């Protein structure tokens, strides 16, 4: 019965409500964000395939990089500010911000000589 | 060999500069070498452990364990640096006075030493685990001979250590009465840079979808991969292509730490002065 609530109870309810809404905040943000596209790239023999994945300009995306080699690799893109170690056999899921049209290069830092690629935003 | 040299050098200067600043900031504090040594040792052991568990850490939190783990480590370092600076703000005046009076014999508390040992530890931990993973990766793929790799790694280590030592020696030429101000300024910028890196990692994991677009691009002036770029990246958190959230976090870290230093200047100092007499 809300009429008989003491001040303290009301405060508690208020606090509880605040905490709950704080907890729900990420859910609300996640619900608002539109479902990003997924780009799949695999690493085999220290090479990326596809080496030039395409993404729609202005749309957020997730890059899923699977390392099929038996050695770790560091997926790195200066332009996209991404740096992520991918252990052997592991799959990395990396957030890519909405991009202006263009070419965004990435490399495998541990095998710089051969591991090259670029995201094409168009 | 060259690849090993470059990667080891790059990671060593990042950790080494932080250790150098910490050593300069604690100049005159007894047994600081021991504490910093503990931090570096713990960081090195931890780096090997992390490299060994890299697969498991990466798989945590739906594949975002690595980012969140690293971001957590960075936030810890930022907290420790902030704590050190606030502590110094309240005790620094007494310490500077005593340094002038009795040379290097300063009766300092142990508290900021633990904080700074942790900072050294996490710096080595983060950079060291990359070195371990890289060297393992090169060794396992068999593209370079072990001897060449070891030579490259050793040269990188040496170069990085020399540069860090130069930084330290440069800092200790600052007269004692300015030293605290200089090092606390450096530590604020260092902390702000680390906080900005932490936010970038959280964004990379896809957890913070605000202000993600690049605000400016100064890579034509100073690239992230150039030696100068790496130096200012470590020292003041420079990034050639920062996004809005990084800048916001960078600035607010500076404001918060500087504000806390102003908030707690005198009260604990009085207590301490009474105790040391």
Interface-testing mutation among B133, B211, B250, with chain A (most A C-beta atoms within 10 A): B133
**What pLDDT, on the 0 to 100 scale, is given for residue A34?**
60
**What pLDDT, on the 0 to 100 scale, is given for residue B96?**
58
Alpha helices (H) in B54-175, listed in sequence order: 54-63, 65-102, 111-141, 146-172
CA dist., res. B201 & res. B66, Å (int): 9
For residues A55 and A15, state if they share a domain.
Answer: no
For residues A28 and A41, state if they share a domain.
Answer: no
Contact yes or no for A73/A51 (Cβ under 8 A): no
User: Which portions of chain B are predicted below pLDDT 70?
Assistant: 92-112, 141-144, 265-277
Interface touch A90/B59, C-beta < 8 Å: yes
**What pLDDT, on the 0 to 100 scale, is given for residue B110?**
52
End-to-end CA distance of chain A: 59
**What pLDDT, on the 0 to 100 scale, is given for residue B274?**
46
Q: Which residues contact B171 (CB under 8 A, 6 or more apart)?
A: B20, B21, B24, B179, B182, B183, B186
For residues A87 and A44, state if they share a domain.
Answer: yes
* Nearest neighbour of B241 by CB, restricted to A79, A92, A95: A79
* Nearest neighbour of A33 by CB, restricted to B3, B136, B209: B209
Q: Indicate which CATH number applies to the domain containing A115.
A: 2.60.40.420
**What pLDDT, on the 0 to 100 scale, is given for residue B193?**
93
For residues A74 and A53, state if they share a domain.
Answer: yes
**Residue A82 gets which letter from DSSP?**
E
Q: Which residue range forms the structural domain that includes residue A61? A: 37-121
Tens of pLDDT, residues B45-99: 999 998 888 777 877 777 778 888 889 989 998 998 888 888 777 776 666 555 5
For residues A42 and A82, state if they share a domain.
Answer: yes
Contact yes or no for A72/A87 (Cβ under 8 A): yes
Backbone angles phi, psi at A18, to 5 degrees: -60, -45
Q: Which residues of B7-16 are buried (b: 16+ CB within 10 A; e: fewer)?
A: bbbbbbbbbb
* Nearest neighbour of A62 by CB, restricted to B66, B143, B206: B206
Q: Which residue range forms the structural domain that includes residue B81? A: 2-276
The count of structural domains within chain A is 2
For residues A61 and A84, state if they share a domain.
Answer: yes
Q: Residue B100: count other Cβ atoms within 10 Å of its Cβ.
A: 11
| CB-CB neighbors (< 8 A) of A60 in chain B | 209
Interface touch B141/A95, C-beta < 8 Å: no
Give the global pTM: 0.76
Query: What is residue B275's three-state secondary structure?
Result: helix
B141 touches chain A (CB under 8 A): yes
For residues A83 and A103, state if they share a domain.
Answer: yes
CA dist., res. A70 & res. B238, Å (int): 34
Tens of pLDDT, residues A67-84: 999 888 999 998 888 888
For residues A19 and A67, state if they share a domain.
Answer: no
Q: Which residues contact B107 (CB under 8 A, 6 or more apart)?
A: B98, B276
The count of structural domains within chain B is 1
């Amino acid at each position: 019965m809300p009429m008989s609530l003491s001040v303290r109870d009301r405060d508690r309810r208020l606090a509880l409500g605040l905490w709950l809404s704080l907890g729900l905040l990420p859910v609300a943000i996640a619900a608002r964000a539109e479902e990003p596209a997924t780009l799949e790239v695999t690493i085999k023999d220290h090479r990326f395939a596809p080496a030039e994945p395409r993404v729609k300009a202005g749309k957020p995306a997730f890059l899923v990089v699977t390392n099929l080699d038996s050695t770790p690799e560091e997926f790195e893109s200066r332009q996209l500010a991404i740096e992520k170690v991918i252990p052997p056999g592991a799959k990395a899921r990396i957030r890519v911000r909405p991009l202006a049209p263009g070419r965004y290069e990435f490399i495998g830092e541990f095998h710089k000589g051969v591991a090259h690629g670029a995201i094409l935003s168009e | 060999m060259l690849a090993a040299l470059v990667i080891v050098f790059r990671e060593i200067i990042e950790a080494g500069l932080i250790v150098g600043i910490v050593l300069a900031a604690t100049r005159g504090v007894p047994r600081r070498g021991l504490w910093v040594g503990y931090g570096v040792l713990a960081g090195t052991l931890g780096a090997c452990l992390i490299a060994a568990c890299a697969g498991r850490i990466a798989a945590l939190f739906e594949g975002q364990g690595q980012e969140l783990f690293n971001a957590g480590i960075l936030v810890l370092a930022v907290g420790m640096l902030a704590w050190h600076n606030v502590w110094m703000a309240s005790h620094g005046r007494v310490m500077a006075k005593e340094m002038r009076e009795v040379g290097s014999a300063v009766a300092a508390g142990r508290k900021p030493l633990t904080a700074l040992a942790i900072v050294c530890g996490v710096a080595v931990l983060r950079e060291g685990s990359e070195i371990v993973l890289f060297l393992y990766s090169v060794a396992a793929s068999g593209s370079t001979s072990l001897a060449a790799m070891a030579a490259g790694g050793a040269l990188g280590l040496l170069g990085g250590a020399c540069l860090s030592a130069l930084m330290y020696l440069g800092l200790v030429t600052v007269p004692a009465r300015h030293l605290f101000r200089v090092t606390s300024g450096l530590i604020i910028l260092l902390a702000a840079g680390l906080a900005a890196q932490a936010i970038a990692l959280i964004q990379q994991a896809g957890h913070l979808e605000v202000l993600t677009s690049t605000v400016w691009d100064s890579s034509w002036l100073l690239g992230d991969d150039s030696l100068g770029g790496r130096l200012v990246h470590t020292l003041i958190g420079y990034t050639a292509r920062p996004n809005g959230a990084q800048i916001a976090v960078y600035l607010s870290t500076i404001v918060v730490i500087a504000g806390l230093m102003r908030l707690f200047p005198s009260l604990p100092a009085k207590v301490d002065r009474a105790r040391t007499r």
